[in-house]
Amino acid sequence: MFLKIENIDTYYDATHILFGVSLEVAQGETVSVLGRNGVGKTTLLRSIIGLTPPRRGKIYFQDCRINGRQPFQIARQGVGFVPEDRDIFPNLTVKENLEMGVQKNSQRSGWDLDKIFRLFPILKERRNQWGGTLSGGEQQMLTIARTLMGNPSLLLLDELSEGLAPLVVRAIKEQILLIQKEGVTILISEQDSSFVLDVSSRSYILEKGQICWHGQSQELRDDPTVLDRYLGV
Ligand SMILES: Nc1ncnc2c1ncn2[C@@H]1O[C@H](COP(=O)(O)OP(=O)(O)OP(=O)(O)O)[C@@H](O)[C@H]1O
């Protein structure tokens, strides 16, 4: 299995957040993690990248045990994390921000400035502007693009659509579909199911730090009662 999470428990100090979470993502697949505010979606992604390592359980990436390794080591192995808070450098230009994403000595290749600019034409237009002058949606695209410059084979996307206008969300959705076509495996956390059910083949629903449902995204699209129950939409 490409990514395999076995029975993890994650804490912030004494606060127990994830309870025996297990999840799998196959190579080339896009999987979504859905759940209301505060159920532990971000914590799950932070557990994988090693920012908040689980205290119990195991995480395997490409059959290597990664929990216990440092975030930079996990990133070097090919896991890219796009955090919720659009973590760009405001005082660097768009092009410089992208260059910061390059991982030297990486065995993986595929993404360069030309390819990124084909996927995100707006970033090409803005390439000499300061990162801080971009709109929220453009900053979100820049964060995704910078992470792609590190040639991740697994991309962790945390609540991309938060606070963005529907038109921007639609553009980002199209970009995710193109990133999938490049063979990147994606795990995406979202509160807004309408956005992710169209891009993911399978979904997991988190409630109070536990997986309470998993199955085909199609099932959630066809039967809104499950979403009603767990997401209250
Ligand atoms: N650094 C921290 N220290 C203590 N508790 C935290 C910390 N970060 C998050 N939490 C708590 O952990 C729980 C899970 O938070 P998490 O951010 O993983 O949820 P989420 O599902 O991603 O929700 P959101 O939509 O708010 O990001 C919440 O109750 C939150 O208050």
Backbone angles phi, psi at 231, to 5 degrees: -110, -10
What's the mean per-residue pLDDT of the chain? 94
- Quick one: pLDDT at residue 21? 98
Ligand 1 shell residues, CB under 6 Å: 12, 15, 17, 35, 37-43, 84, 159, 191
Gap between the Cα atoms of 233 and 231, Å rounded? 6
Cβ-in-10-Å burial (0-12, 13-18, 19+) of 143 comes to: buried
pLDDT of residue 232: 79
Q: Write the residue with the smallest CA distance to atom 28 of ligand 1.
A: 38
Is 22 a residue whose pLDDT tops 70? Answer: yes
Res 108 pLDDT > 80 = no
- 104 CA to middle of ligand 1, Å? 33
Q: How far apart are CA 59 and CA 209, in angstroms?
A: 17
Residue 41 C-alpha to ligand 1 middle, in angstroms?
A: 8
Q: How far is the CA of 37 from the centre of ligand 1 (A)?
A: 8
Q: What pLDDT does residue 109 have? A: 74
Domain count, the chain: 1
> Which among 155, 98, 95, 99 is positioned nearest to 125, based on CA atoms?
95
- Nearest ligand 1 atom to alpha carbon 39: 21
Structure tokens at 162: 């938060």
141-188 pLDDT tens trace: 999 999 999 999 999 999 998 889 999 999 999 999 999 999 999 999
pLDDT of 38 over the 70 cut: yes
Torsion on CA atoms 173, 97, 2, 85, rounded to nearest 10? -60
Structure-token match 């938060």, residue found: 162
ipTM of the complex model: 0.95
CA of 32 relative to ligand 1 center, distance in Å: 18
Nearest Cα residue to 43 out of 77, 84, 79 = 84
Which residue has 């509160």 as its token pair? 191
Q: Is the pLDDT of residue 75 over 60?
A: yes
**What is the tens place of the pLDDT at every residue in 126-147?**
999 999 999 999 999 999 999 9
Q: What is the spatial distance between Cα 24 and Cα 36, in angstroms, rounded to a whole number?
A: 21
Distance 182 CA to ligand 1 centre (A): 32
CATH of residue 90's domain is 3.40.50.300
Given a cut of 70, is residue 42 above it in pLDDT?
Answer: yes
Q: Report whether pLDDT(233) > 90.
A: no
For residue 85, give its domain range: 3-231
Residue 228: per-residue pLDDT: 87
The angle that helices 136-148 and 166-181 make with each other, rounded to 10 degrees, is 10
Greatest distance between any 2 Cα atoms in the chain: 49
Which protein residue's CA is at the shortest distance from atom 6 of ligand 1?
A: 12
Which mutation among 8, 18, 19, 41 tests ligand 1's pocket best, with the greatest number of atoms within 8 A of CB? Answer: 41
Region 111-130: what's the mean pLDDT?
96
Distance CA 147, CA 154 (A): 10
Nearest-atom index, ligand 1, CA of 43: 18
Whether residue 17 has pLDDT greater than 80: yes
pLDDT band at residue 70, thresholds of 50, 70 and 90? very high
